[in-house]
Amino acid sequence: MTDNPLYSFPITAIDGSSTNLAAYSGRVLLLVNVASACGYTPQYRGLERLHRDHSPRGFAVLGFPCNQFGEQEAGTEQEIQQFCSLTYDVTFPLFAKVDVNGEHAHPIWTWLKQERPGLFGTEAIKWNFTKFLVSRQGEVIRRYGSIDEPAAIERDIIAAL
């Protein structure tokens, strides 16, 4: 495992177990703040396709539900997991709800924003389905906005693999 802080931040899996991202060290990652009742929610379909198509080569999508934008992720972790599974057949890892902005922002998201600020150097996440592509070494390669469809990111994922 690398010394990269990304892999050591404590995180809670969607099932409530405590973990970190150490198991993903050496993989290309796409970390996404997700929501079940957002106009961008259909991106789950494309994210799942990316995960299934490229996981054999060392890629993973990691979903972090967030209720900070229009309260579009109001359900419990169990409801979120059920929705993702039944509606979009999501198999990529999901984690417990997190804040991505503000004083209670999860340390992973604070770190990601510092590593790759957004437009004009702003760190704040603007909306659901913001995505961060991370190299096998844990370096943030690129940040994508909500409007960036998963298929449009695929070329960068392939290059990182």
List active site positions: 38
User: What are the beta bridge partners of residue 18?
Assistant: 12
- Report d(CA 124, CA 103) in Å as an integer: 12
Of 92, 33, 100, residue with least CA distance to 65: 33
Starting at the earlier edge strand, list the strands of the sheet with 28-34.
Answer: 59-65, 28-34, 131-134, 140-144
* CB hemisphere CA count around 119 (13 angstroms): 6
3-class DSSP state for residue 59? Answer: strand
3-class DSSP state for residue 12? Answer: strand
Other Cβ atoms within 10 Å of 93 Cβ, number = 18
- Report d(CA 145, CA 136) in Å as an integer: 21
DSSP secondary-structure letter at 105? B
